[in-house]
Chains A and B, each alone.
Chain A
Amino acid sequence: MSQAADAHHGHLNSAGEHGPHHPVSYYVKIWALLLVLLVISIAGPMLGNKVLTLVTAFGIAVVKALIVAAFFMHLNIEKKFVWYMLLAMLLAVVMFFLGTAADVMKYDGSHWTKPTSYLYTEEFKKAFSGGEEHEGHDADEFDSKALPNVPYGETESHKAQGSHKSEGHGLPAAEPRHGT
């Protein structure tokens, strides 16, 4: 199976014979389909329904990606090996997500909690809901100084559901950020 297919001899795609010649209109039709999907993916979220947004925005994104891959990148006539290789790389990323989500994506878990993330979320809401009030008098001027910067460590280790104060710190907390 190791025929010395010479790459310079005009384009021989992987199927070995000259690529099936599609007329230009074939590609333009696919392009038009992609545009329609784009419009849908923009219109969908405007209706405000959470599930609909997810389906239209991300579902269509996956469909568009597959269309571009299959028709524009000619993966539909490419050797199967390429599909499997790209899929394997994608699976590696999914594997990374599965192993990491339990720690990075949650506020608390078995015997641990992230008090700073709770504080950060509250501060963020305040900083940005405050942002909404600004909406009135100025085109969403956002005071970047009010960025949520919650020094951690010496915070009261309270969680959203009730907390206890513990004062009296023997050590001055090191300034956590670049002096901001």
Chain B
Amino acid sequence: MLNWIILEASSYAAQIDNVILIIALLGGFWLFAAEFVLFYFVAKYRRSRSPKALHITGYDHEHNKWIHWSHYAVIACDIVILVFAARAWYHVKQSVPEHVDEEIRIVGHQWAWEFVHPGPDGKLGTPDDIDVVDELHVVVNKTYKFHLESADVLHSFSIPRFRLKQDAVPGREIDGWFTPTVAGTFDVPCSQMCGLGHGIMGGRIFVETEDEHRKWLESATGKTAAIPANGTGKLASTQGGN
């Protein structure tokens, strides 16, 4: 639904947008239905047109059946919304795809993001890791698992184009994943109040093609990047990710 305002750029962006669409449709229906009935009553029962009001207690079935039926329908809509929301939530937050191409570590600092790329060997925690401030370089259509931490206060790692948001809580390491589907550079704002520089704390994510990424790797590490041809290099040794 939001594609026309902010283009989808990750694998699960469409699913989250669908949840928003369903809520918009169901909620919108009930909103306009209620508003219409309200304005209709206000117009129809103006004092000039109906000088005498009825005396309705509202306990008799004849009148409150309108309330009860619309009530049950609202509950039904809630259940539909719940199913879609829970599925999207499970897909994004509670599960990580089996095949993870690379892992990155993100540390939020007061007023900048620190991205630790796995470097040419594709494994995090090896000496060739590339630690960059406010610039995250990823390859399009690859699945990345991130480990999110904060070094001082609460921050929130958010990529609006991916529909991704996860608070970085100091003392915690939170895992999540994303798969960029559109090449380009997008904003990575911090969306949790973190002090004076909260407004200027904006990183950028560079979703590159294979060769652009290789060029960046070379410029970052100064050596020719020995990245396996098809980029499906051995799965990075995740350290006991659950």
In the complex, the number of residue pairs spanning A and B with C-beta atoms less than 8 Å apart equals 91
Stretch from B38-46, B76-84, B129-137 at the A interface: B129-137
- For the complex, is B87 an interface residue (Cβ under 8 Å from A)? no
A157 partner, pick from B132, B147, B242, beta carbons under 8 A: B147
When distances are taken between beta carbons in the complex, the residues of chain A under 8 Å from B175 are: 111-112
When distances are taken between beta carbons in the complex, the residues of chain B under 8 Å from A168 are: 116, 127, 129, 131
Chain A interface mostly helix, strand, loop or mixed? loop
Q: What 0/1 pattern do residues 159 to 180 of B give for CB contact below 8 A with A? A: 0000000000011111110000
In the assembled complex, the CB of B224 is this many whole angstroms from the nearest CB of chain A, namely 20
Q: How many residues of B contact A (CB 8 A)?
A: 33
- Give chain A interface residues in 89-139, CB to chain B under 8 Å: 108, 110-117
**Which residue of chain A lies nearest to B118 when distances are taken between CB atoms in the complex?**
A166
A153 touches B174 (CB 8 A): no
- Give chain A interface residues in 122-178, CB to chain B under 8 Å: 152-154, 157-159, 161-171, 173-174, 176
User: How many of chain A's residues touch chain B, expressed as a range?
Assistant: 20 to 34
B131 touches A158 (CB 8 A): no
Q: How far is the CA of A153 from the CA of B170 in the complex (A)?
A: 7
A174 partner, pick from B124, B152, B174, B237, beta carbons under 8 A: B152
**Which residue of chain B lies nearest to A108 when distances are taken between CB atoms in the complex?**
B242
A152-B151, A153-B149 known; A167-B127 Cβ under 8 A: yes
When distances are taken between beta carbons in the complex, the residues of chain B under 8 Å from A167 are: 127, 129
A111-B96, A161-B240, A167-B127 known; A152-B170 Cβ under 8 A: yes
Q: How far is the CA of A114 from the CA of B169 in the complex (A)?
A: 10
When distances are taken between beta carbons in the complex, the residues of chain B under 8 Å from A176 are: 151-152, 170
Q: How far is the CA of A168 from the CA of B107 in the complex (A)?
A: 13
**Which residue of chain A lies nearest to B115 when distances are taken between CB atoms in the complex?**
A170
A170 touches B132 (CB 8 A): yes
A153 touches B105 (CB 8 A): no
A154-B151, A171-B114 known; A166-B105 Cβ under 8 A: yes
Q: Which 5 A-B pairs have the closest CB atoms?
A: A153-B151, A164-B125, A116-B171, A112-B174, A111-B175
